[in-house]
Structure 1
Amino acid sequence: MKNPEGPQSGLMRRIDAYWSGRAREFSSTRMKEYGGRLRGLYEEVILPLVPSGAKFALDLGTGAGFFALLLAQKGLRVTGVDYSEAMLEQARCNARARGLSIEFRQMDAQALDFPDESFDFVFSRNVTWTLPRPELAYEGVARVLKRGGVFVNIDANYGRTFRVADQAGEPPVHPGQTAAQLRERNDIAERLPVTDRDRPDWDISVLKKAGLRLRALDRDLSLRLSDPDQMVIVTGAKGHVSRLFLIAMEKI
């Protein structure tokens, strides 16, 4: 399938450049979290939602591979996809360092290139807010899920938080990013239609239309992921944070 924005569209190039430019810093942060208490907190949230007997899992927008590693270590056969080849290089290194066999493939989340009903479980974290056409990603997830399979999406309307902070005159903050990277992040988010959606209600509606039913919903997941030993993971600006949500949808 072709990229919905075109394989060389200006916006997709900017998105790829932003995340690729963060690959090393992003991987370092995620692996520090993986070695800390946060991994266990995520396991408590995610693993009960994996269908009984599940074998094949897809980590959509795998980044540095945090969740691909988590699922593989629990015995699932995992495929991780990401648009950024620089991120995938980090994910492969992280998997090798832990002796895990995970297939990592360069792929657009909005144009999944897998046969129908390939996976028992699909997972995504902090990915759909970055996509020009997240509804296409949701349609693809519904297609590649097996019947009875589950899709878990953890995300937040970061773009809206960035906008509110910008309008309040607050400079964006992040311990690992430069001021130029943060400005680019906010500018990209402002161009994404998903920033204007009422989430997660919009997400649930789109997924229901694609043939999935709601299995679990948490509108403020950050309360369950609070870890004082880790950096704040939901910060938009000094005075504004994004409310992290979780939706779990089952294919009917």
Structure 2
Amino acid sequence: MNQASNYNLREEIREYWSMRAATFDEQPGHEIFSETERNAWHALLERHFGKGEGRQALDLASGTGVISHLMHDLGFAVTGMDWSEAMLEKARAKSKLRGSDIRFLLGDAEHTLEDDDSYDVIITRHLVWTLVDPAAAFAEWFRILKPGGKLLVVDGDFVSPTWATKFNKVMAGFLESIGLRKPVEAVAHMQTHRDILARVHFSEGARADEVSSMLAQAGFDPIRIDFDLRQIHSAQKKHISFAKGLERGAQHRYAICAQKPLAN
């Protein structure tokens, strides 16, 4: 892939998420719809980062600021960075409404322009699977972390079909054939989503082992893969359909905590 096509793809990604900004917070898995889920997120973050105690945190691809506010709840001094001004507008409005002092910046997660050794912790949620050049992004995140700082990647393989995906497809076809379900009309943004997904690095799915291997190549050590996201997913399933809940539960989802070694 040449530089020009990379640039065009990044622009398409930015435009896609800007288009989605208006309804982003309406979807479970994006915004938080219960205190049970909020508490489950707090537990995950505290398990890997501990309490904030005023430490500097960067939320990359912060969107409407959902994860930024979770980090702020734990006492971190939070900077949220996103490449979509539409997302940032919603994040800043939410921050003002809640009276938080989170700083939101317009920026590219793969080229942050932040100073070396700036942050104690970095977090990303559902960003890595969309990266055009993850190796460059991981090197960038390593650079801006302080020695001893930690990166937490919350992501998954949202591409590979699971037993639940196949089951739901068969059931949908059967229900349509007997007239108990209307055919689902194509949503315009779904084709855009598929076109983008076909060209990102993890077009066949971001698996935890591959992501961990690339983080190790960037210099992170130690690296821990955490598959225990059950409390979060259980809370989310109460706000989505049974079929979507099956799919979400069957997907390869994980959190990876990677540390920048202390300076010698």
Normalising by the residue count of structure 1, what TM-score does the alignment of the two structures yield?
0.82
Alignment of 1:106-121 (within 5 A): 106-121=106-121
2:22 aligned with 1:13: no
* Matched residue, 2:39: 40
Q: Residue type matched to 1:18 in 2?
A: Y
Q: SS of the residue aligned with 2:124?
A: strand
Q: SS of the residue aligned with 1:22?
A: helix
Percent of aligned pairs sharing the same letter: 28
* Matched residue, 2:208: 200
* Matched residue, 1:70: 70
CA separation of 1:182/1:235 partners in 2, compared to 1, >3 Å: closer, same or farther? farther
Alignment of 1:79-98 (within 5 A): 79-98=79-98
CA deviation after TM superposition for structure 1 residue 48, in Å: 2.0
Report Cα offsets for 1:208-228 as digits up to 9, x if no partner.
Answer: 122211343124634653114
CA deviation after TM superposition for structure 1 residue 54, in Å: 6.1
Name stretches of at least 5 consecutive residues in structure 1 with no aligned partner: 172-176
In structure 2, what is the Cα distance between the partners aligned to 1:46 and 1:221?
11
In structure 1, what is the Cα distance between the partners aligned to 2:58 and 2:114?
10
CA deviation after TM superposition for structure 1 residue 141, in Å: 0.9
CA deviation after TM superposition for structure 1 residue 28, in Å: 3.6
Contact 2:37 2:231 in 1 (8 A): no
Q: Residue type matched to 1:194 in 2?
A: F
- How many residue pairs get matched? 241
In structure 2, what is the Cα distance between the partners aligned to 1:8 and 1:191?
9
CA separation of 1:43/1:71 partners in 2, compared to 1, >3 Å: closer, same or farther? same
CA deviation after TM superposition for structure 1 residue 235, in Å: 5.3
In structure 2, what is the Cα distance between the partners aligned to 1:27 and 1:240?
21
Contact 1:60 1:122 in 2 (8 A): yes
Q: SS of the residue aligned with 1:156?
A: strand
- Determine which of 6, 22, 25 is the counterpart of 2:23: 25
In structure 2, what is the Cα distance between the partners aligned to 1:187 and 1:159?
13
Alignment of 1:154-193 (within 5 A): 154-161=154-161, 179-193=187-201
Contact 2:60 2:124 in 1 (8 A): yes
Contact 1:27 1:64 in 2 (8 A): yes
* Matched residue, 2:179: none
Deviates more, 1:217-226 or 1:10-19: 217-226
Deviates more, 1:6-15 or 1:132-141: 6-15
CA separation of 1:41/1:66 partners in 2, compared to 1, >3 Å: closer, same or farther? same
2:49 aligned with 1:50: yes
Q: Residue type matched to 2:221 in 1?
A: R
In structure 2, what is the Cα distance between the partners aligned to 1:11 and 1:126?
17
Structure with higher Rg: it is 2
Q: Residue type matched to 1:179 in 2?
A: V
Contact 2:233 2:249 in 1 (8 A): no
Name stretches of at least 5 consecutive residues in structure 2 with no aligned partner: 173-184
Q: Residue type matched to 2:139 in 1?
A: E
Alignment of 1:229-244 (within 5 A): 229-231=238-240, 242-244=251-253
2:146 aligned with 1:146: yes
2:246 aligned with 1:248: no
Deviates more, 1:234-243 or 1:212-221: 234-243
